[in-house]
Amino acid sequence: MQSFLIVLASVIMGVALRSCRALFLRKLGALTFLVASFLTFYYFFASLYAGFFGVILWFLLPWIDLLIRIRKLRFPIDNRLKNIPSPSEDHFPNARRLFSEIEDSHFEFVSSSCWQWGVMNQHFQFFWHPEAKTIAALCLCEQDHVAFAFVTLSSKSNNHLKIHTTNYPFSPTLRDSPRSHWLFLPCEKNRFELILREHRRNLSNHRLNLENLVTPQPDTILEEFENELIAQVQYNVDRKLIIRTEEESYRYSTKGLFFLWFQSMKDMIRLC
């Protein structure tokens, strides 16, 4: 009974800490759950090795989804955007606010398109700012019953280097191609003015200013967006993270599954 009460107290403490607003306390709550797992296996099997195995199980959980679902998914190689109306922003957290903030920053609306990425639908609303030589994309994501919104800012240099800054909340599922550089911002930077400020800093870190940037053309934004993904897919095929199939699609290789697992570990640590 004493062992059970100790584990129960650890779980209750973890739940309480996870309910706090402070990031440090929430991460401490996640650590408390690991302690509870360790104690559960330790008391049940009376072994330190079993306790450590109970902790490791948390890090092996993503393999269930990777082996059962992700391994069977097929993604089109030549993926194209579809010009269809975007859904109502009311279904996506912060989407309406972000839309207003983008327009308040003098970005002009270009078009709306949709991208089907496996089991996820991504609805894009593209904007451009000719003076800042920057494209803004408001993305509304739908996956199963989960919906969220994020913003990506993009600029292109004279030597065809593409710089992206985004508050996309998860790690990328493909490696970046050599001509494409991404900066992923923490979740708390969800205001457009903060994202725009970080994008300018990102350009400065790459030693780029307005004179080094190419003015985007509204008529070719969608085409360049598609071509960049196709180049990224080919780069990952060459790196053997993904494998072409006979249906002009691709799937993740064993190496690619380990890459996805590593990305999920980064998300688990960062978002816990």
List helix spans (H) across 146-272. 192-205, 221-238, 254-271
Q: Are residues 171 and 240 in the same domain?
A: yes
Percentage of the chain beyond pLDDT 90 is: 53
**Hey, which residues does 153 pair with through a beta bridge?**
136, 165
SS3 category, 56:
helix
Which 3 state secondary structure label does DSSP give 141? strand
pLDDT in tens, 178-226: 889 999 998 778 899 999 999 999 999 999 999 999 999 988 998 898 8
271 belongs to a structural domain: no
Statement to judge: residues 27 and 97 lie in one domain: no
Residue type, 72: K
* 243 pLDDT above the threshold of 70: yes
Asked if residue 26 and residue 97 are part of one domain, the reply reads no
Q: Is residue 70 part of a domain?
A: no
Structural domain ending residue among the three candidates 60, 91, 109: 60
Q: Is the residue at 68 inside a domain?
A: no
Long-range contacts of 85-89 (CB under 8 A, 24+ apart): 85/112, 86/112, 86/114, 86/123, 86/124, 86/125, 86/140, 87/123, 87/140, 87/142, 89/140, 89/149
**Domain assignment of residue 171, yes or no:** yes
Statement to judge: residues 55 and 139 lie in one domain:
no
Same domain, yes or no, for 228 and 97?
A: yes
Alpha carbon distance 155, 221 (integer Å):
11
Residue 271 has pLDDT above 90, yes or no: no
Characterize 175-200 residue by residue with b for buried, 16 or more Cβ atoms within 10 angstroms of its Cβ, and e for exposed.
eebeebeebbbeeeebebeebbebbb
Together in a domain, 6 and 116: no
Whether 131 maps to a domain, the answer reads yes
Same domain, 155 and 120: yes
Q: Could you report the per-residue pLDDT of 106-128, keeping only the tens digit for each?
A: 999 998 888 876 667 888 899 99
* pLDDT on residue 267: 87
Q: How far apart are CA 37 and CA 44, in angstroms?
A: 11
Q: Are 92 and 182 in the same domain?
A: yes
Residue with tokens 């308040």: 104
Is residue 262 assigned to a domain? no
Gap between the Cα atoms of 221 and 163, Å rounded: 15
**What backbone phi and psi angles, to 5 degrees, belong to 237?**
-65, -45
Judgement on whether residues 44 and 97 belong to the same structural domain of the protein = no
pLDDT at 53: 94
Based on the domain organization, do 100 and 201 belong to the same domain? Answer: yes
Report the 10 Å Cβ neighbour count for 201.
Answer: 11
* 260 occurs within a structural domain: no
Residue range(s) defining the domain that contains residue 42: 2-60
Mean of pLDDT over the chain: 88
Indicate whether 272 belongs to any domain: no
- Residue whose C-alpha is closest to residue 218's, from 79, 109, 113: 109
The verdict on 117 and 29 lying in the same domain is no
d(CA 99, CA 137): 10
Question: Are both 85 and 54 inside the same structural domain?
Answer: no
Specify the number of domains making up the chain: 2
